[in-house]
Amino acid sequence: MLYESRTEGLCWWCRAAPADSREHKLKKTDLKRQFGPGPYPELSSHKDGGDRFIQGPDSVVVKFKPTLCSDCNNRRSQPHDLAYDRFADYVRGHDRHILSSRAIDLRAVYGRDRWEDGRDDMLRFFAKHAGCRLAENGIEVPEPHL
């Protein structure tokens, strides 16, 4: 069941510090990998009947409103962000093999002995994204968190 947020203005993860940091909706490294450092005169977001142009990888258009504190969005979630980046780099570098085999061997992505940790951290990255989306829409993020 979804409930209205009771922690408005606080970081949804630690629930202690002010929400002063904006997580990217579209990962900055993905934008730079795909489109370069910017500006992006051709990219826009269509919302509420109008176009908003994405100026570059740090554009407010590609970020959630502040829903996390700086510590949670940087230090605390760094392993999750790095696991996603490693996965995305692997997919980009092995796209033909992935399409032909229709599989991704996570041991090849994260290493034979660390693939489960890498997988879990990547899933935590997506959970952080979902938490930010919920919080931005005023919905309480249920515990336990990441």
The domain locations on the chain are 1-23+66-146
pLDDT digits (tens, 9 = 90+) for 51-106: 777 788 888 888 999 999 999 999 999 999 999 999 999 999 999 999 999 999 99
Q: What is the mean pLDDT of residues 25-41?
A: 86
Q: Give yes or no for residue 1 having a pLDDT over 70.
A: no
Give the gyration radius of the chain's Cα atoms.
17
**Percentage above 70 pLDDT, the chain:** 97
Is 29 or 54 the better-scoring residue by pLDDT?
29
| pLDDT value at residue 132 | 97
Is 134:141 a contact under the CB 8 Å cutoff?
yes
Q: How far apart are CA 110 and CA 98, in angstroms?
A: 16
Q: Give yes or no for residue 27 having a pLDDT over 70.
A: yes
Q: How far apart are CA 90 and CA 69, in angstroms?
A: 30
Helix segments in the chain, DSSP class H? 28-35, 70-71, 78-93, 95-101, 106-110, 115-136
State the chain's mean pLDDT as an integer. Answer: 91
Short-list 84, 89, 43, CA closest to 62: 43
Phi and psi angles of residue 118, each rounded to the nearest 5 degrees, phi first: -60, -45
Q: What is the DSSP letter of 68?
A: B
Say which residue the tokens 């829903």 belong to.
67
Query: What pTM was computed for the model?
Result: 0.87
Would you state the structure tokens that stand for residue 135, as one six-digit string? 């919080």
